[in-house]
Amino acid sequence: MADKLIIVESPAKANTIKKFLGGSTKVLASMGHIRDLPKSKLGVDVEHDFEPEYINIRGKGDLIKTLKKEAKQAKKIYIATDPDREGEAIAWHLAYILQDEKEKITRVTFNEITKSAVQKAIKEPRDIDINLVDAQQARRVLDRIVGYKISPVLWKKVKRGLSAGRVQSVAVKLIVDRENEIENFKPEEYWNIYAKLKDKETKKKFEARFYGKDGKKQEIHTEKEVNEILKNIEHATYIVDEVKKGEKKRTPAPPFTTSTMQQEASRKLGFTLKKTMSIAQGLYEGVKIPEKGTIGLITYMRTDSTRISEEARAAAKEHITATYGENYYENRYYKTKKDSQDAHEGIRPTYADLEPDKIQDALTKDQYKLYKLIYHRFMASQMAAAIYDTMAVNIKANGYDFKANGQTIRFKGFMTLYVEGSDSNEKEEEGMLPPLKEQQEVILENIEPKQSFTEPPPRYTEASLVKALEEKGIGRPSTYSPTITTILERRYIEKIQKQLVPTELGKIVNKLLTENFSDVINVEFTAKIENEFDDIAEGKEMWKKMIREFYGPFELEIEKVEKELEHVELVDEVSDVPCEKCGRMMVYKFGRYGKFLACPGYPECKNAKPIIETIDVPCPKCGAKVQVRKTKKRRNYYICENNPESCDYISWNKPKPGEKWNPQEAEEVKKETSKKVTRKTTTRKKKSTKNKAVKTSKKK
């Protein structure tokens, strides 16, 4: 008989905790949620104050029996699910399942899975926080109502199987809106003038950029303006008018939050959000380290706080001063955003002495990469600023101003260990100018005007979309990854070279939702709802009251939209491709893999075929048309329309006019594209063999 029963969500977490407690303590895993709303119906009783109709999750019957049996035998039951709203809700559902033993049940939480943190939590149990549970219930119920009420509209007007979500639909809207901005963007011309100059004394060359005239900034929009400036400075003498020397400090970024970790792992490691969270979960729950056993390597990975405990701060100080010297350490405190849930610390390593390289052999390749990123980011956050020597120079040429800037690093500080990535392609220029003096002349080596055009805003990447969602107050740390994963899986968007692009299906769904449910599918409403969830978590608002206030107007909106769309039919776009079987002009349809051509005569004529996209550059080998196709992983490749009959051109890269093709580069593409065929063939063979085996056994 166990004195203590501890229930967590996952077996990995259970294994890590077991070793810290020993004795007659039993640790079991609930394998995530144990109860939830049913999938087959709304599961919310709108007639009786929105009471959720929770059921035990299918397939968990045996686990529930085991939990009840062990709970009956234990003297004390500790529910140690994750320290957030979702974890609190799981704890509440577990308490419901084990209500016969409710006198024994208590709740414990810890931000890191270390011996001291677990033992401390067991000594300081608390009751389940019903406010946190209600915040989770409010999100679950509201999202269920929105999804189950709006989705049937999509089924009737677009196609069955589609679904709408409160946060996911807003994320799709952001991506579609950005694509519209790009498509409607009109580039504007602008010019820069660069002067290549040389210091007479040192002979060192440097570059200065045109600024304006008589100290006033002047933008150049046309070649005519450029020529006028060049004419006026054709025989000018270039004189150093002003020299400013100074010092610039660069401070480190704060410890990771969920959002910044996802963004940085995307930029620096190329990880998807889903992959980042999966690896972080494993690092948090425990990894087997030689001589230490299974231990949690990082703190809880779902947080929007940058706060750090004093113990962690002290450990960082000891490590930094011992490794780099006292002048590299600075005790830093970071402000947490006002709307963040400050229940947890920022993401940091649990043991300062476990440097990434020391434990590399105990980690998978990806675990090592992410742990190293987290470890270095945290340590750098407690280090001194980097110091630059700067120099800014203004140069006069016949009344016109040219400016040059230079900098060199004097003290690297935190940059010895870590530098934060950026979504921008701009790089910080470094390099000192010659030791110029005011009123000295510099020699003009060359002057070069450069024409440029303004560029449209970039498409979102996973990292920049997370940043946008966070800035706009849409979703919370636990929702970013599932939101983007869901809209990718539903094929409302696709990823092309790391950029998120709306599909035709995504555009159609977005248009229907935003035109008919603009009060719900918008940024402001979604952000407002998130703040209301926060108020519920803090006990400032009742969750059913919030749902009541939302549901009344929403129900009227649903009725209005259904009535308006009752006689509206979405007409298929007609193509210019005739059906080779019956002669009708084929129409565009949307399937699981996107747009395709189908005969409008269905079901009499069932002809359908893929849309073959071609480019305006001929095949570099035979001059025929080049088609754009996709691999199973949705990566574009380019192939001659005559491949494989009479031409073997195939490439990852879009051909350029006059470009010669290297046949060797085709091998990788062939391997990747032929895998799909091989797998399908293998699967068919297996199924065929299985069927034959069944038939044989029946005969016997």
Instruction: Return the higher-pLDDT residue of 633 and 434.
Output: 434
- Catalytic residue list contains 300: yes
Specify the pLDDT at position 158.
78
Among candidate residues 686, 645, 638, the one with its CA nearest the CA of residue 665: 638
Q: How far apart, in whole angstroms, are the C-alpha atoms of residue 485 and residue 490?
A: 9
- Segment 559-580 shows an average pLDDT of 80
Specify the pLDDT at position 75.
92
Q: How far apart, in whole angstroms, are the C-alpha atoms of residue 145 and residue 548?
A: 12
CB 623 within 8 A of CB 600: no
State yes or no: pLDDT of 52 exceeds 70.
yes
Query: 282-320 pLDDT, tens per residue?
Result: 999 999 999 888 999 999 999 988 999 999 999 999 999
Among 163-167, 354-358, 491-495, 627-631, top mean pLDDT goes to 354-358
Identify residue 469 by its one-letter amino acid code. Answer: L
The residue from 78, 284, 300, 638 that is catalytic is 300
3-state secondary structure of 321: helix
Instruction: Return the higher-pLDDT residue of 636 and 143.
Output: 143
Specify the pLDDT at position 371.
98
Specify the pLDDT at position 699.
40
Identify residue 642 by its one-letter amino acid code. Answer: N
State yes or no: pLDDT of 676 exceeds 60.
no
Query: Which two three-digit tokens encode residue 411?
Result: 């003290």
The reply to whether omega before 644 is within 30° of 0 (cis) is yes
State yes or no: pLDDT of 2 exceeds 70.
no
Specify the pLDDT at position 427.
52
CB burial of 535-564 (b: ≥16 within 10 Å; e: otherwise) equals bbbeeebebbebbeebbeebeebbeebeee
Specify the pLDDT at position 458.
95
Q: How far apart, in whole angstroms, are the C-alpha atoms of residue 26 and residue 1?
A: 9
The reply to whether omega before 610 is within 30° of 0 (cis) is no
Kindly give, in sequence order, each residue whose CB lies less than 8 Å from that of residue 590, ignoring residues fewer than 6 positions away.
158, 159, 504, 505, 508, 596
Angle at the Cα of 638 (from 634 to 641), degrees rounded to 5?
120
Percent of the chain with pLDDT over 70: 92
Query: 110-137 pLDDT, tens per residue?
Result: 999 999 999 999 999 999 999 999 999 9
Q: How far apart, in whole angstroms, are the C-alpha atoms of residue 5 and residue 98?
A: 12
State yes or no: pLDDT of 692 exceeds 60.
no
State yes or no: pLDDT of 691 exceeds 70.
no
Distance from the Cα of residue 636 to its chain's centroid = 22
- Please give the mean pLDDT across all residues of the chain: 88
- Segment 665-676 shows an average pLDDT of 70
Q: What is the pLDDT confidence band of residue 423, given thresholds at 50, 70 and 90?
A: low
Query: 137-189 pLDDT, tens per residue?
Result: 999 999 999 999 999 888 887 777 788 889 999 999 999 999 999 999 999 99
Q: Which stretch of 257-271, 359-373, 554-568 has the lowest confidence by average pLDDT?
A: 554-568
CB 244 within 8 A of CB 391: yes
CB 199 within 8 A of CB 240: no
Kindly give, in sequence order, each residue whose CB lies less than 8 Å from that of residue 526, ignoring residues fewer than 6 positions away.
166, 167, 170, 473, 474, 475
H-state helical runs in 267-364? 273-285, 310-323
Query: 186-230 pLDDT, tens per residue?
Result: 999 999 999 999 999 999 999 999 999 999 999 999 999 999 999
Specify the pLDDT at position 350.
95
Specify the pLDDT at position 685.
38
State yes or no: pLDDT of 683 exceeds 50.
no
Q: Which stretch of 157-161, 621-625, 658-662, 687-691 has the lowest confidence by average pLDDT?
A: 687-691
Q: What is the pLDDT confidence band of residue 426, given thresholds at 50, 70 and 90?
A: low
Q: Which stretch of 30-39, 344-353, 679-688 has the lowest confidence by average pLDDT?
A: 679-688
Specify the pLDDT at position 318.
96
Angle at the Cα of 163 (from 162 to 168), degrees rounded to 5?
130
Torsion sign over Cα 380, 385, 387, 390: positive
- Segment 623-650 shows an average pLDDT of 84
Query: Which two three-digit tokens encode residue 543?
Result: 């969750």
